[in-house]
Amino acid sequence: MDRFIDEKIEQFAHDHTEPEPELFARLREETYRTMERPQMQVGLLEGRFLQMLVRLTNARNILEIGMFTGYSTLMVAEALPDDGRVVTCEVNQKAESIARRYFGESSHGHKITIRMGPAMETIKALSGPIDLVFIDADKTNYSNYYQACFPLVKAGGLIIGDNALWNGKVIDPQDDDTLAIVAFDRLVHSDPRVAHVCLTVRDGMMLAWKR
Ligand SMILES: C[S@@+](CC[C@H](N)C(=O)[O-])C[C@H]1O[C@@H](n2cnc3c(N)ncnc32)[C@H](O)[C@@H]1O
């Protein structure tokens, strides 16, 4: 991923963030060694920020759309109370098998339920209330995911859209993924049901707080 934030500044922020536990370092290393597009992983800075949001909102029920090899899933699980729960959606079986191994090693793995199959089907079968949603799967469905999970989110709950700045391409959208991200950003921006902020953390994060 080309960075739109100065690399030295990002490194400084990284170096002054709570360090990465050994399990996460191994997961990151294996993902980069064995998976295509490993940079999809949120990484330490955004992972720690997600944890902070889980703690600040006292979230107990989380929905993640886009697990990949489970880095962000484990991050949010670690910040949940012992009876908290994260349901995470994925379609890639190779990613799933890696994630399952690391969830099995973690003392927080029991909080995680993996739902294999198209996320939209999983969302349709879920019941609320959900405290926090992290949208990080196929970009062309971002707006659909937002609309589908909105009724399940409690008042005061948070919906987070990752990659809200899509490598800076949102400034001049030229392809379907970028157009979909811009449509999602506009949808949230025009939604009176939420308070929202579009952050420049990593690849951009849209935070929408349901009134
Ligand atoms: C950006 S990655 C998620 C990264 C992950 N949050 C992390 O930090 O490691 C997006 C993932 O969504 C999955 N995905 C794509 N389309 C999907 C769909 N329709 N339903 C569920 N998962 C999907 C992909 O296989 C991919 O692993």
Q: Closest ligand 1 atom, CA of 72?
A: 8
Burial 73-92 (b: 16+ CB within 10 A, else e): bbbbbbbbeeebbbbbbbeb
Mutate to test the pocket of ligand 1, among 122, 126, 138 (most ligand atoms within 8 A of CB): 138
pLDDT value for 5: 87
0.95 exceeded by the pTM?
A: yes
Mutate to test the pocket of ligand 1, among 115, 136, 143 (most ligand atoms within 8 A of CB): 136
Measured from the CB, is residue 136 less than 6 Å from ligand 1?
Answer: yes
CA distances from 90 to 99, 179, 195 (A): 10, 23, 28
Q: Print pLDDT tens along the chain (211 aa).
A: 556 789 999 999 999 999 999 999 999 999 999 999 999 999 999 999 999 999 999 999 999 999 999 999 999 999 999 999 999 999 999 999 999 999 999 999 999 999 999 999 999 999 999 999 999 999 999 999 999 999 999 999 999 999 999 999 999 999 999 999 999 999 999 999 999 999 999 999 999 999 9
Q: What tokens appear for 115 in the block?
A: 């739902």
Which runs of consecutive H residues, i.e. helices, occur in 16-118? 22-34, 43-57, 71-79, 93-105
First-to-final CA distance of the chain: 34
Measured from the CB, is residue 90 less than 6 Å from ligand 1?
Answer: yes
| Residue type, position 3, single letter | R
Measured from the CB, is residue 76 less than 6 Å from ligand 1?
Answer: no
Mutate to test the pocket of ligand 1, among 62, 72, 74, 91 (most ligand atoms within 8 A of CB): 91
Contacts of residues 4-12 at CB distance under 8 Å and 24 or more positions apart, as own/partner, are 4/165, 4/167, 4/168, 4/200, 5/200, 5/202, 10/45
H or E element in which residue 51 lies: helix 43-57
Half-sphere exposure of 109 (CA within 13 A, CB side): 12
